[in-house]
């Protein structure tokens, strides 16, 4: 990533926060990069701070509660959708009213606008995601002048299309015909509708459009592609997939689980987590023709009861009801559930319940595919939110889809290995399974003091943290943490990962593996501290794939959206055994996200070593010592009591078949005993016919 002043994506994403000691006065506003002088950004700031634009005052967008979604079936088959949408009746202000509010001079004055005052009083919290770039007084004056000359369009909430598509596309009127591919059925858009004139399926993601400049010089080829008919577009992509031999792998199957509605949620303009990174990921995967190499599924959202398998019901009830309109920051339950606080890592936004249900449902459905032997590798890039606890939101994570998926796998598999390559410690998953020997958690992450002087979030995961210390606890020794310092490079990380992971697999012998592939361990990530390139990150996926276990591959962190998309597209190709050409296809929607020197130069594998490089604080001696300590920790891993010791070479499938046969025999035996009991009673009654009782009646 180049400097923030030249980075269209990241400069628009920066946090507009004030220094702790700044007075409420324009003259004391700290300096910032010039990259904020952008019409879309001005619109965002006016929406964020302007009078009359508070989320509490705006009509509620995206707050519809959706129930009884279509069943999770392959998209190529027809499916019936049943939706009950409940939306409050609110009046929406006109465009002229919004523009009048945006243009108010008072909304730009920190003395007169209470929202700015609240932000000035906010203190920096340890592990906060806030960035130190702050707009200057000159920036504010320039934005006013630009606004006066060229007012931006009225703000359209990101959930306008979301709700409309649910009503139109999922109401049952627009059922997709059998035999369609995901591309035909609207997989690239927001709902099950055909490719529209905007060049890709369904409605465009207006959240992405707000964050990307038009960049017409990069969009000429896509504009020509857009002008073609649907059949011509499909044929172009099919020919390209054929040219590069995009076909399903032989000997194993890969499935892709994704509900496109998940990308239409928005944490807020200043928040690093951008669900629209999934839009870029999806478009890259489809543009390369990888859809022809996998089974594609559009899973249903998880239900309340399914989420309650792990999470507290009271916490889930809170998630299902809280909105920006009814939240009470001073409420004790609000704070107890991990919301609010000094940095508000987990904000309340419109559609929050839909969001957590969608990504969790996809992970659970992917796990089910593995259990049904429909897939050998199942992918859900929308999942991987590893910090959420049983009843607390944490680190941008509300529901822990990983725990739910692993619990699903444990219904058939005796041992599951969880591997986490996110730059942050996978604490939520570790704590969820700390008292069982059926799950082994292995996490590679940054550990230590960060550049602000605070422990790097979440502040846990040292090498000596091996789970419970009580010898009677079955989970003792079933945790291995690999703490890494700033700036680790490709070769160091690859050696470390292969050495330690291989030892864990040999020792633990898992029946299935879950790999959390957080992309914030890439070089140049907005919140990360490593120097990994895309192929080095993908090496981890390739290594785990080589263990030939059922593999659930999920997303996670990643806060430079263009590089997240590149990485997950590459790792999808790794799963299916495909090689991708370096030049990005020109017919990708939002191609401007990847063009320009500061955005990677329009190629799939830019050198991330040249972007925001961190000093490498890891040397060979330190890493060797770390590996020795990790292998020493593995010595304490004994044979798990709950694990069946297979001394006869019986496969897992044979064991399951034997178990089913035994259960059937037991059921038949119960039926026989019931039948014998009934027969005995019948014979007893027959022997009593004509006995004393009856003779007395003659």
What CATH number should be reported for the domain holding residue 270? Answer: 3.40.800.20
**Tens of pLDDT, residues 274-284:** 999 999 999 99
| Boundary (domain end) residue, out of 108, 129, 155 | 155
Average pLDDT (322-351) is 86
Q: For residue 557, what are its two tokens?
A: 């962190």
Is 519 part of any domain?
Answer: yes
Assess whether 550 and 671 both reside in one domain: no
pLDDT at 655 (0 to 100): 57
Is 563 part of any domain?
Answer: yes
Residue 489: band (very low, low, confident or very high) from pLDDT cuts 50, 70, 90: very high
**Tens of pLDDT, residues 62-78:** 332 222 222 333 443 33
Give residue for tokens 């009580």. 470
Whether the CB-CB separation of 204 and 589 falls below 8 Å is answered with yes
DSSP 274-330: -TTHHHHHHHHHHHTTGGGGSEEEEPPPPPHHHHTTTS-HHHHHHHHH--TTT--TT
Assess whether 398 and 523 both reside in one domain: yes
Q: Mean pLDDT check: name the lowest of 59-73, 233-247, 371-385, 636-650.
A: 59-73
Q: Mean pLDDT check: name the lowest of 233-247, 466-480, 626-640.
A: 233-247
pLDDT at 665 (0 to 100): 74
Strand, helix or coil for residue 443: strand
Task: Tell me the CA distances in angstroms from 51 to 40, 105, 148, 694, one per residue in order.
Answer: 18, 10, 17, 95
More confident residue, 522 or 98: 522
DSSP letter at 60? P
More confident residue, 698 or 137: 137
Which of 200, 265, 425, 445 does the annotation list as catalytic?
A: 425
Assess whether 560 and 678 both reside in one domain: no
Assess whether 507 and 453 both reside in one domain: yes
Q: For residue 640, what are its two tokens?
A: 């798990």
Q: Using CB atoms within 10 Å of the CB of residue 395, give its burial: 0 to 12 exposed, 13 to 18 middle, 19+ buried.
A: buried
Q: Is the dihedral of CA 276, 522, 41, 133 positive or negative?
A: positive
H/E stretch holding 439:
strand 439-446
Distance CA 421, CA 498 (A): 12
Is 233 part of any domain?
Answer: no
More confident residue, 437 or 70: 437
Is 138 part of any domain?
Answer: yes
Whether the CB-CB separation of 43 and 152 falls below 8 Å is answered with yes
Distance CA 323, CA 59 (A): 12
Assess whether 689 and 586 both reside in one domain: no
> Residue 361 pLDDT > 80, yes or no?
yes
Average pLDDT (414-430) is 97
Average pLDDT (212-231) is 64
pLDDT at 232 (0 to 100): 79
Question: Alpha helix locations (H) across 308-454?
Answer: 313-321, 332-336, 352-371, 401-409, 427-432
More confident residue, 149 or 328: 328
Q: For residue 35, what are its two tokens?
A: 């990259």
CB burial readout 191-209, b (16+ within 10 A) else e: bbbbbbeebbbbbbbbbbe
> Residue 569 pLDDT > 90, yes or no?
yes
pLDDT at 597 (0 to 100): 86
As for how many domains the chain has, the answer is 3
Percentage of residues in the chain having pLDDT higher than 90: 46
Task: Tell me the CA distances in angstroms from 458 to 61, 126, 394, 445, 505, one per residue in order.
Answer: 32, 9, 9, 10, 26
In degrees and rounded to multiples of 5, residue 323 shows phi and psi of -140, 165
Q: 254-257 and 377-380: which strand pairing?
A: parallel
Q: Using CB atoms within 10 Å of the CB of residue 238, give its burial: 0 to 12 exposed, 13 to 18 middle, 19+ buried.
A: middle
> Residue 463 pLDDT > 60, yes or no?
yes
Full domain range(s) for residue 489? 239-634
Is 639 part of any domain?
Answer: no
pLDDT at 328 (0 to 100): 83
pLDDT at 32 (0 to 100): 31
| Boundary (domain end) residue, out of 131, 155, 179 | 155
**Tens of pLDDT, residues 385-403:** 999 999 999 999 999 999 9
Whether the CB-CB separation of 342 and 124 falls below 8 Å is answered with yes
> Residue 213 pLDDT > 80, yes or no?
no
pLDDT at 684 (0 to 100): 62
Is 473 part of any domain?
Answer: yes
pLDDT at 215 (0 to 100): 52
Average pLDDT (95-99) is 36
Question: Alpha helix locations (H) across 414-533?
Answer: 427-432, 490-508
Percentage of residues in the chain having pLDDT higher than 70: 60
pLDDT at 330 (0 to 100): 76
- Which of the listed ranges 124-128, 473-477, 496-500 does the model predict with the highest average pLDDT? 496-500
Phi-psi region of 340 (alpha: psi -120 to 50; beta: other; left: phi over 0): left
Distance CA 559, CA 537 (A): 15
Q: Using CB atoms within 10 Å of the CB of residue 298, give its burial: 0 to 12 exposed, 13 to 18 middle, 19+ buried.
A: buried
Q: Is the dihedral of CA 431, 432, 438, 441 positive or negative?
A: negative
Q: 73-74 and 295-298: which strand pairing?
A: antiparallel
Residue-averaged pLDDT of the chain: 72
Q: Mean pLDDT check: name the lowest of 484-498, 559-573, 677-691.
A: 677-691
> Residue 523 pLDDT > 70, yes or no?
yes
Assess whether 148 and 255 both reside in one domain: no
Is 227 part of any domain?
Answer: no
Q: How many residues does the chain have?
A: 698
- Which of the listed ranges 176-190, 518-532, 656-670 does the model predict with the highest average pLDDT? 518-532
Write down the number of H helices and E strands in the chain. Answer: 22, 9
**Tens of pLDDT, residues 101-121:** 333 334 434 444 444 344 334
Q: Mean pLDDT check: name the lowest of 36-50, 468-482, 616-630.
A: 36-50
Assess whether 662 and 570 both reside in one domain: no
pLDDT at 98 (0 to 100): 34
Average pLDDT (121-140) is 40
Strand order in the sheet with 512-516: 73-74, 295-298, 254-257, 377-380, 551-554, 512-516, 416-420, 439-446, 479-484
Distance CA 84, CA 61 (A): 16
Distance CA 64, CA 70 (A): 16
> Residue 383 pLDDT > 60, yes or no?
yes
pLDDT at 340 (0 to 100): 80
Is 69 part of any domain?
Answer: no
Assess whether 567 and 668 both reside in one domain: no
Assess whether 536 and 628 both reside in one domain: yes
CB atoms within 10 A of CB 326: 11
Assess whether 298 and 259 both reside in one domain: yes
Strand, helix or coil for residue 257: strand
More confident residue, 44 or 34: 44
Average pLDDT (50-55) is 38
pLDDT at 11 (0 to 100): 39
| Boundary (domain end) residue, out of 108, 131, 155 | 155
Assess whether 445 and 502 both reside in one domain: yes
Assess whether 451 and 531 both reside in one domain: yes
pLDDT at 587 (0 to 100): 82
Judge if pTM exceeds 0.75: no
445 is catalytic: no
Phi-psi region of 136 (alpha: psi -120 to 50; beta: other; left: phi over 0): beta
Residue 239: band (very low, low, confident or very high) from pLDDT cuts 50, 70, 90: confident
Task: Tell me the CA distances in angstroms from 60 to 55, 216, 274, 328, one per residue in order.
Answer: 8, 33, 20, 16
Q: Mean pLDDT check: name the lowest of 210-214, 323-327, 337-341, 620-624.
A: 210-214
């Amino acid at each position: 990533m180049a400097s923030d002043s030249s980075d269209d994506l990241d400069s628009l994403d920066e946090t507009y926060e004030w220094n702790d000691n700044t007075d409420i006065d324009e003259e004391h506003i700290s300096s910032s990069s010039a990259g904020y002088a952008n019409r879309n950004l001005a619109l965002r700031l006016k929406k964020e701070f302007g009078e009359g634009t508070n989320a509490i005052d705006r009509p509620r967008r995206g707050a519809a509660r959706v129930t009884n979604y279509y069943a999770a079936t392959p998209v190529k088959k027809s499916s019936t959708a049943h939706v009950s949408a409940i939306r409050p009746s609110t009046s929406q202000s006109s465009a002229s009213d919004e523009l009048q509010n945006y243009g108010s001079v008072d909304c730009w004055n920190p003395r007169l606008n209470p929202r700015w005052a609240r932000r000035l009083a906010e203190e920096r919290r340890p592990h906060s995601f806030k960035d130190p770039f702050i707009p200057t007084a000159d920036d504010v004056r320039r934005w006013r002048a630009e606004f006066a000359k060229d007012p931006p369009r009225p703000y359209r909430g990101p959930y306008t299309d979301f709700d409309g598509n649910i009503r139109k596309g999922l109401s049952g009127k627009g059922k997709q015909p059998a035999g369609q591919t995901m591309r035909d059925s609207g997989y690239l858009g927001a709902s099950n509708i055909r490719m529209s004139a905007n060049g890709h399926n369904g409605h465009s993601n207006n959240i992405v459009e707000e964050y990307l400049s038009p960049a017409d010089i990069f969009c000429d080829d896509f504009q020509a592609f857009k002008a073609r008919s649907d059949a011509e577009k499909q044929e172009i992509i099919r020919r390209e997939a054929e040219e590069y031999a995009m076909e399903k792998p032989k000997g194993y199957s890969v499935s892709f689980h994704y509900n496109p509605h998940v990308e239409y949620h928005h944490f807020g303009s200043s928040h690093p987590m951008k669900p629209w990174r999934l839009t870029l990921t999806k478009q890259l995967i489809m543009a390369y023709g990888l859809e022809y190499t996998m089974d594609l599924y559009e899973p249903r959202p998880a239900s309340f009861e399914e989420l309650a398998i792990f999470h507290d019901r009271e916490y889930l009830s809170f998630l299902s009801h809280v909105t920006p309109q009814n939240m009470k920051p001073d409420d004790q339950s609000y704070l107890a559930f991990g919301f609010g606080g000094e940095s508000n890592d987990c904000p309340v936004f419109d559609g929050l319940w839909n969001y957590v249900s969608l990504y969790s449902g996809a992970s659970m459905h992917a796990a089910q595919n593995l259990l049904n032997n429909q897939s050998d590798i199942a992918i859900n890039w929308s999942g991987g939110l590893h910090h959420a606890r049983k009843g607390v939101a944490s680190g941008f994570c509300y529901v822990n889809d990983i725990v739910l998926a692993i619990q699903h796998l444990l219904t058939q598999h005796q041992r599951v290995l969880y591997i986490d390559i996110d730059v942050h410690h996978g604490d939520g998953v570790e704590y969820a399974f700390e008292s069982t020997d059926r799950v082994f958690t292995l996490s590679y992450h940054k550990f230590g003091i960060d550049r602000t002087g605070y422990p790097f979030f979440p502040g846990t995961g040292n090498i000596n943290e091996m789970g419970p210390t009580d010898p009677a606890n079955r989970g003792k020794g079933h945790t291995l943490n690999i703490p890494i310092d700033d700036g680790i490079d490709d070769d160091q990380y690859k050696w470390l990962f292969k050495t330690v992971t291989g030892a864990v697999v040999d020792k633990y012998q898992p029946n299935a593996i879950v790999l959390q592939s957080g992309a914030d361990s890439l070089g140049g990530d907005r919140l990360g501290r490593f120097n990994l390139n895309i192929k080095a990150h993908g090496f981890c996926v390739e290594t785990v794939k080589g263990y030939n276990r059922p593999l659930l591959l999920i997303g996670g962190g990643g806060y430079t959206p263009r590089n997240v998309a590149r990485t997950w597209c590459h790792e999808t190709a790794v799963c299916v055994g495909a090689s991708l050409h370096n030049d990005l296809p020109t017919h990708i929607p939002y191609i401007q996200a990847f063009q320009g020197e500061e955005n990677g130069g329009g190629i799939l594998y830019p050198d991330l070593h040249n972007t925001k490089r961190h000093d490498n604080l890891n040397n060979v001696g330190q890493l060797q010592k770390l590996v020795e300590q990790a292998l020493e920790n593995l010595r304490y891993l004994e044979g798990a009591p709950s694990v069946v010791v297979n001394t006869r070479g019986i496969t897992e499938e044979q064991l399951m078949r034997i178990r089913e046969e035994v259960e059937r025999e037991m059921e038949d035996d119960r039926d026989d005993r019931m039948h014998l009991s009934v027969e005995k009673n019948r014979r007893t009654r027959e022997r009593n016919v004509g006995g004393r009782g009856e003779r007395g009646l003659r």
